[in-house]
Chain A
């Protein structure tokens, strides 16, 4: 409790805090901790077509990576490996794009917009679309990017293309576009929050010491926005690594992802396989997050 919310004075009066936290803690015990434990447990279970067989086996983990030691006859990786690589690629690309875009927009809001009222207004402007369902926001791209969509119509009318571009929709491009569209706000908010805590006199000091705008940006603002950048990055990476909805809808159900693989396995009632997959996914994500959080204590920064 070293860095907890401020402890109010004379706090031992009234209801014991344990009772107050109990319902909250119970929810996480029943709907988070136990389920995760079960995933771990079942990932070592055997199964047949009808039921789960509670006996310890490595089978699920082994069969997951079957044939992954070499390339197959078409020169591709095995299914699991190529799915993980594809998901990692999406995570990396969407992370880079949302970070660049989110940082630039947060910078604009924090340092170029001076009145708090204007900042609030612009923020609300960016949040309003979030009140719409994500699926709706995804399919909203169809009339724009589709074969007969607005963009293809425009390109054809301008004489730039003879045939409609097929790669605009239900492709890697559209999946990535949707990630940027849906999740850039998750980058903007924490980075903006960090930037607003930067003491403005530091910027003046940098300028007085002769730093150019770029030098101030790179040597003062970026390091001091580190926390926001990390929180945003963790959000984006964990969302994209586990995603199966966006990749499904925007990929026309044709693009593989780890989340989708898990979903398909559970729909065939292959729970132990799905659980083993989930454990590997979790370890991958935890490794990335661990790498990121080593630099920062999230709790201090609230």
Chain B
């Protein structure tokens, strides 16, 4: 269909192609710069020229940057990202199945989801932060009323990585998850399901053996997307996290305090993790498709 009207390069092709090339350079240029500069020699600074090549700044990074425990933040973000990924796939898949049926209040739920997507993140973050702080004072009053004084001394806050921060991330990843699943089911041919039902499959069997294998690659895509959004999330997390920080939050703080190429090394390492996750996801999708192709 793309070749229905083909002709010599339409007017405007070359200027636009040039613009596109410039845009790609614009996207990659800065990244490549910090990648190169992260291998700066021990004497080198934040800018060119390179004073020798070394892994010095990676070693610095491994030893920690100032008071910030990068390794711990790294693990926290990884764990949070993994949980967000799993929940995003599960919840948006379930919800999209519900939306395929007649769902009362579905319109309302859809608009709330879209509202969450376009709501300035700082507002959501402030709200979640407030909510958990009010919850804290409620808990403290209750505990005092019940005479739980020992417990009260150890209790600090209900704000945390897997309470408020997780919720903040989900309010950001789930709308994307649902929209992707909508797009997937819009192009989904219900004839397969009908065939399965006509052959006597139960709803669960239909889902498990017909629908799920067909949408699995998209579900992996949703998960991958969820992880990346979470891995990079700052704005919604900022007010909704307790005493510990996620990696991007630490990173944001470090931009003002660290003035050595170690920060470029950190940038390179976090980028490598994102790429590894993508590679894993793409590999998994491929494997799934191959298995489906083979079993036919």
Interface residues of A (CB under 8 A from B): 1-2, 4-15, 17-21, 23-25, 27-28, 30-39, 42, 101, 104-105, 107-109, 111-112, 114-116, 122, 125-126, 129-144, 146, 148-150, 153, 181, 184, 200, 204, 213, 234-235, 238-239, 241-245, 248-249, 253, 259, 262-263, 266, 271, 274-275, 278, 281-282, 285, 289, 298-299, 302
A137: chain B residues at CB < 8 Å are 30-31
Interface of B is mostly: helix
CA distance A245 to B132 in the complex (A): 23
**What is the CB-to-nearest-CB distance from A252 to chain B, in angstroms, rounded to a whole number?**
8
Which of A149, A213, A259, A289 has most chain B Cβ within 10 Å?
A259
A14: chain B residues at CB < 8 Å are 203-204, 207
Q: Which one of A2, A8, A38, A112 contacts B131 once the chains associate, using CB atoms below 8 Å?
A: A38
**What is the CB-to-nearest-CB distance from A186 to chain B, in angstroms, rounded to a whole number?**
11
Whether B102 contacts A6 by the Cβ 8 Å rule is no
Whether B130 contacts A245 by the Cβ 8 Å rule is no
CA distance A211 to B83 in the complex (A): 54
Mark contacts of B96-127 with chain A using CB atoms, 8 A cut-off: 1 yes-contact digit, 0 otherwise. Answer: 11111111101101101111101111111011
**What is the CB-to-nearest-CB distance from B113 to chain A, in angstroms, rounded to a whole number?**
6
Count chain B residues whose beta carbon lies closer than 8 angstroms to a beta carbon of A.
108
A146: chain B residues at CB < 8 Å are 46-47
A148: chain B residues at CB < 8 Å are 45, 47
Given A35-B128, A131-B278, answer yes or no on A112-B34 (Cβ-Cβ < 8 Å).
Answer: no
A21: chain B residues at CB < 8 Å are 94-95, 98-99, 103, 106, 109
CA distance A234 to B239 in the complex (A): 24
B195-224 with Cβ < 8 A to chain A? 197, 203-204, 207
Whether B267 contacts A133 by the Cβ 8 Å rule is yes
Query: Of B142-150, B153-161, B179-187, which binds chain A?
Result: B179-187
Mark contacts of B1-13 with chain A using CB atoms, 8 A cut-off: 1 yes-contact digit, 0 otherwise. Answer: 1111110011111
CA distance A126 to B23 in the complex (A): 9
Q: Which one of A17, A105, A135, A181 contacts B98 once the chains associate, using CB atoms below 8 Å?
A: A17
CA distance A161 to B256 in the complex (A): 28
**What is the CB-to-nearest-CB distance from B277 to chain A, in angstroms, rounded to a whole number?**
8
Supplied contacts A5-B100, A24-B109, A245-B234, 11 more A-B pairs, CB within 8 Å: A6-B190, A8-B190, A27-B91, A32-B127, A35-B126, A108-B20, A142-B47, A143-B47, A148-B45, A184-B23, A271-B130
A13: chain B residues at CB < 8 Å are 197, 203
Mark contacts of B162-205 with chain A using CB atoms, 8 A cut-off: 1 yes-contact digit, 0 otherwise. Answer: 00000110110010001100110110001001100100000110
B57 on the A face (CB < 8 A): no
Whether A242 contacts B174 by the Cβ 8 Å rule is no
List the 8 shortest-distance A-B pairs measured between CB atoms, nearest first: A242-B120, A35-B127, A14-B203, A140-B30, A31-B167, A24-B95, A136-B267, A21-B98
A136: chain B residues at CB < 8 Å are 31, 34, 251, 266-267, 270-271
Whether A112 contacts B13 by the Cβ 8 Å rule is yes
Whether A116 contacts B2 by the Cβ 8 Å rule is yes
* B275, closest chain A residue (CB): A131
* B169, closest chain A residue (CB): A31
* B238, closest chain A residue (CB): A263
* B30, closest chain A residue (CB): A140
B274: chain A residues at CB < 8 Å are 131-133
B245 on the A face (CB < 8 A): no
* A244, closest chain B residue (CB): B122
B231 on the A face (CB < 8 A): yes
**What is the CB-to-nearest-CB distance from A272 to chain B, in angstroms, rounded to a whole number?**
10
B9: chain A residues at CB < 8 Å are 112
Whether B270 contacts A132 by the Cβ 8 Å rule is yes
B171: chain A residues at CB < 8 Å are 27-28, 31-32
